[in-house]
Amino acid sequence: MASFSVIIPAAGKSSRFRDDHYKKPFVPLENRAIWLHSAEKFLNRDDVKQLILVIAAEDRPDFQDKFAANVAILGIELVEGGDSRGLSVRNAIERVREDVDFVVVHDAARPCLADVWIDRVFAAAVESGAATLGIEVTSTLKKVANGVIQETVSRESLWESQTPQVFRRQLLLDAFAAATDEQLGQATDEAQLVEWQGGEVTMVTGSPLNRKITTRADLVFAKQALKALPKPDLLGRQTHPFQDGDLWR
């Protein structure tokens, strides 16, 4: 069985969340912090051997005050992040165990994740070397400048990338080693770094429920999405409360 190390970046500034009291990974969602929802999806898996949470240095005192017990009980490793997502993940990669086969990166602010989607993207990565969840773009896309539509952009072959993103360990290490600090600051996800080095990343169908929380309005969606996630029945099969498979698959 392949083994996985999971990195959960939670060191961002949350500038679009606009909350005077919380950064978005630490906001309570159904009585648990958002980052805990995200982490717990991986902690009970036999194939996950390590979980690394990346937080900002400025958040460490408050984080330790609120979550030290959770981190200790769950066996989570803490790493301080950098000035960008890429630099933060690079700090975590330096702590990845050498005996694991794959590295997983999952946004702390994507709490609405189902086991069946994790299984799917893990399996695709084992087969191809790299894989990410995503959903096809279905809305009409417009290119806008100064508040005015310039053109309608074709959505053919366009997908919205999600996480988890899963990579064979050495593939991701090589991509980070080849990237400059400037490139790490520009990259919006880890798949992009692999793409820049000529690597191929398999796109795996995720779900609209796996939305990243960006604004406070997303919390309303997330509360309902948690209730709608597919769950295993007594036989281990994934069940869901909707008949429309496209909504959750």
Q: Tell me the per-residue pLDDT of 31-67, one tens digit each, with 9 for 90 and over.
A: 999 999 999 999 989 999 999 999 999 999 999 999 9
220 vs 234, residue with greater confidence:
220
Q: Tell me the per-residue pLDDT of 117-171, one tens digit each, with 9 for 90 and over.
A: 999 999 999 999 999 999 999 999 999 999 999 999 999 999 999 999 999 999 9
Q: Is the pLDDT of residue 15 over 70?
A: no
Inter-residue long-range contacts of 84-88, CB under 8 Å, 24+ positions, other chains counted: 84/184, 84/185, 85/9, 85/11, 85/12, 85/187, 85/188, 85/189, 86/176, 86/179, 86/183, 86/184, 86/185, 86/186, 86/187, 86/193, 87/181, 87/184, 87/185, 88/9, 88/11, 88/54
Among 18-32, 132-146, 172-186, where is mean pLDDT lowest?
18-32
pTM exceeding the 0.85 threshold for the entire prediction? yes
